[in-house]
Amino acid sequence: MRKIMFSFVGLALVCSAAPTWVGAADPGTATPDEVITKVHEAVQYLKDKGLAGFSDFNNNKDSRWVWKDSYVFVYSCRDNVMIAHPLRPDMVGKPILQMKDDKEHFLFKDMCKAGDNADGGWVEYWWPKPGEAKSSRKISYVHSAEVSFKPDIQVGSGIYDDKMSVEDLNKLAIQAKQPKKDAP
């Protein structure tokens, strides 16, 4: 008999509505759970390290902030600047709020709004997968991070998917922040 293991959040989703994307992950593709976990880890890391922690996210494809087909990036909405990006050093220090995706969507304006929510939020846009030139549908989870005396910092990471809904992913983000209850 095979044993099937689910994370607490994954089990909650299976029991509640069984979205089509639960359990159908490619081992080389980041999952929503991994993205949420990495973003929360990065928020805590920057809170602990302060401004000196930014450099750990820059131009380092072998860091803990790059995995499978995803990575963590850091930006400031108030200062309108990309602070850290491990795969696109050309973006660091550049303005972000006027950046558009391939569908003429101001992606960082939506990210700044979503990241201001207490639970963070997911934003849909079109962005090339690492190593590809053509854009794919990407959904990124973003969350605010209070770093030293800069309360406007946000951290994000995403998944490339054409089926998941932003609404389901936002529910997942809220569930991930709720305290875990021990099973009876």
Question: Could you give the CA distance from residue 99 to residue 22 in angstroms, rounded to a whole number?
Answer: 32
What pLDDT, in 10s, does the model give residues 92-151?
A: 999 999 999 999 999 999 999 999 988 899 999 999 888 889 999 999 999 999 898 888
**What's the confidence (pLDDT) of residue 77?**
96
Q: What is the pLDDT of residue 14?
A: 32
Which domains are assigned to the chain? 8-177 (3.30.450.20)
Residue 89 pLDDT level (bands cut at 50, 70, 90): very high
Phi, psi angle pair for 121, to nearest 5°: -170, 165
Closest CA to 76 of 48, 46, 49, 35: 46
**What's the pLDDT at 22?**
43
Please write the tens of the pLDDT for every residue from 10-45: 333 333 333 333 444 578 899 999 999 999 999 999
- CA 108 to chain centroid: 13
